[in-house]
Structure 1
Amino acid sequence: MFIRTESFQQYVRCFPAVTCYIFLMMIVFVLTLFPSFLGNIIHYGTGVNLYIADGQWWRLLTPTFLHYSFTHILFNGFSLAIFGPTLEKTLGSIKFALFFLLTGTIANIATFFLTPLTFIHTGASGAIFGILGFFLYMARFRKHLLSKNEIHTIYTLTGIAVIMTFIQPNINIVAHIGGLLAGVILAPLFWRK
C-alpha cells in the first residue's frame, strides 16, 4: 500500500500533485536560506496567531509550505512521498491537491483557536496527518475495500504517529490531531469508488 517501486520518472508522471507539493516545499525552504533574497518568506508566511488575529488570514495556509530546518522538511517531505501517492491514486490529482490544502488549513485554523496568541508554527504535518485521517476512515468505514494487512498497517502507522506527536519536543499537537480529525471528517466527501 505504501511501498513505492516506481522509478523517479514514473513517480513524477503518476503522482503530479504529490511531486508538485514536495517540490514547492523544497523550493520555499531553499529560498528561506537566502535572507537577502527571499528570507522574508518566513517572516510573512509563518503561522503567528497574533498576526492571524490581526487580520493576516493567509497565515492559515502558508505555514503548510514552510519548514524551519532541514530535518523538518526531510521528515515531512518523506512522509508525503510515502503516504501521498496512494491517496492521489484513489482521489485523482485535483481532489488530492484540494484535500491536502483543506486538511492543512483546518489544522492551522485549529491551531489558531486552540493555542495562545503567541504561538508560532510551520510545517506540512497537519496536512500529512489529514492523509492518515483519510486512510483511518477507509480502515474503519470502508474496510471491505482493504486487505487485513492494509488495515493493520493503517492502524499501526496512525497509532505510532499519534504517540510520537506527544513524545517529540516542539510538535504542534493541535495541528497533528486537527489534521487527523479533518482527514477522517472530509474523507467521505472526497471518496470516490
Structure 2
Amino acid sequence: MFVRTENFREFIRFYPIVSFLVGLHFALWLLMDFVQLGIFVELKQWGTGMNVLILNGEYWRLVTPIFLHGDFAHALFNSFSLVLFGPALEQMLGKIKFIWMYIFAGIVGNLGTFVVDPDAYYWHLGASGAIFGIFGVYLFMVMNRKQLIDTANSQIILAIFAIGLFMTFARPNINIYGHLFGLIGGFAIAPVILRNARPFSLWQIRTRHSRPDREDISFDPNRWKNRPYSKKKTGKYILWGIIIFLALFALANRM
C-alpha cells in the first residue's frame, strides 16, 4: 500500500493527481525561488498566508499557501510525503474526491491558523496541512473502517503519524496549528469520502489501465515469476521508506 513498485510512467498514469501536485510543487519552487522571475516572486508574496491580510479580506490566502513552499527542502519533504502516502488514497477515493479532500484539509489547516494563532503578522505556506489531512483520513480508516486497511499498514500509519506529530512540536518554525487542523479536516471529511471506497489494490489499477489483446489472453507460464514483490522485500522497502522519511525530517530540521 505504501511501497511504490510502479515505474515512473506507471506512477504518472495510475496517480495523476499526486503526480500533478508534486510537479506543481517543484515547478513553483523553480520559478519563484530558483529562477526568481519577477512575476512569480510577486505571486509568492500574493499567495503566502498572513493572518492580518486574511482579516482584511484577502481570503484567497486560505487556499494558495497549500501549493507554495519556503525552499527546496520544504518542497522536497512535502513531495516525498505525498508520493509515499498519497497514491493509495487517490486510488481508493478516485481523483475528484482525493483533490477535494486534499484542498479541504489544507483550507481547514490554514483557517485554524487564522482563527487560533494570536500573531496577526504570522506568515505561513506549505502543503503540510493537506498532507496531515491524508493522515487524518487514514486514522479514520484505522479506527472505523478497518476493512479498508490491513494490520501491517495500520501500524505503519500509526508509527509515521506519531513521528510526524512529535516533529511538529519538536522542530522550530513549524505551523503547528496548520498541521493539527489539517489532520482534523481530513478526519472530519473521511466519513463522507470513504462511503464507496475499496481497499487499495495495485493489481486492480494495472488491470484497469491495461489494454489486453488476443496475445495477452494466452497463458504465460512465467506469470508467477513476475509477482510484484515478496513479503521479505515488502518489509525491506517499508524499512527503507521509514529511514528515508526520518532522514528528510532531519534534513529539513537542519536547514
Same fold at TM > 0.5: yes
Say yes or no: does 1:99 pair with 2:105: no
Per the alignment, residue 21 of structure 1 pairs with 21
Q: Which runs of 5+ in 2 are unaligned?
A: 198-255
Of 63, 68, 71, 1:69 maps to 71
Of 88, 112, 128, 2:131 maps to 128
Give, in angstroms, the shift of residue 37 of structure 1.
4.0
Give, in angstroms, the shift of residue 22 of structure 1.
1.1
Per the alignment, residue 152 of structure 2 pairs with 149
Of 35, 44, 47, 1:45 maps to 47
Per the alignment, residue 90 of structure 1 pairs with 92
Q: What do the CA deviations read for 1:133-160 (whole angstroms, capped 9, x no partner)?
A: 1000000101133222111111111111
**Counterpart residue identity of residue 27, structure 1:** A
Highest CA radius of gyration, 1 or 2? 2
How far apart are the structure 1 equivalents of 2:40 and 2:18? 24
- Structure 2 length as normaliser, TM-score? 0.74
How far apart are the structure 2 equivalents of 1:100 and 1:129? 9
Say yes or no: does 1:81 pair with 2:83: yes
CA contact (8 A) 1:31 1:37 kept: no
How far apart are the structure 1 equivalents of 2:65 and 2:75? 12
Q: What do the CA deviations read for 1:150-176 (whole angstroms, capped 9, x no partner)?
A: 111111111111011001111000000
How many pairs align?
193
Give, in angstroms, the shift of residue 36 of structure 1.
2.5
How far apart are the structure 2 equivalents of 1:162 and 1:63? 21
**Counterpart residue identity of residue 157, structure 2:** I
Q: What do the CA deviations read for 1:37-86 (whole angstroms, capped 9, x no partner)?
A: 42102210000111000000000000011101110000001101111101
Of 114, 117, 124, 2:116 maps to 114
How far apart are the structure 2 equivalents of 1:105 and 1:28? 19
**Counterpart residue identity of residue 159, structure 1:** A
- Structure 1 length as normaliser, TM-score? 0.97
**Counterpart residue identity of residue 38, structure 1:** F
**Counterpart residue identity of residue 17, structure 2:** A
Q: What do the CA deviations read for 1:64-109 (whole angstroms, capped 9, x no partner)?
A: 1110111000000110111110100110011101110110011000
How far apart are the structure 1 equivalents of 2:2 and 2:106? 21
Give, in angstroms, the shift of residue 3 of structure 1.
0.8
**Counterpart residue identity of residue 126, structure 2:** G
**Counterpart residue identity of residue 137, structure 1:** F
Q: What do the CA deviations read for 1:108-139 (whole angstroms, capped 9, x no partner)?
A: 00010011211100000000000001000000
Per the alignment, residue 4 of structure 1 pairs with 4
1:172-183 aligned at under 5 Å gives the runs 172-183=175-186
* SS state at 1:39 partner: helix
How far apart are the structure 2 equivalents of 1:98 and 1:8? 25
How far apart are the structure 1 equivalents of 2:72 and 2:25? 11
CA contact (8 A) 1:132 1:180 kept: yes
Over the aligned positions, Cα root-mean-square deviation in angstroms equals 1.0
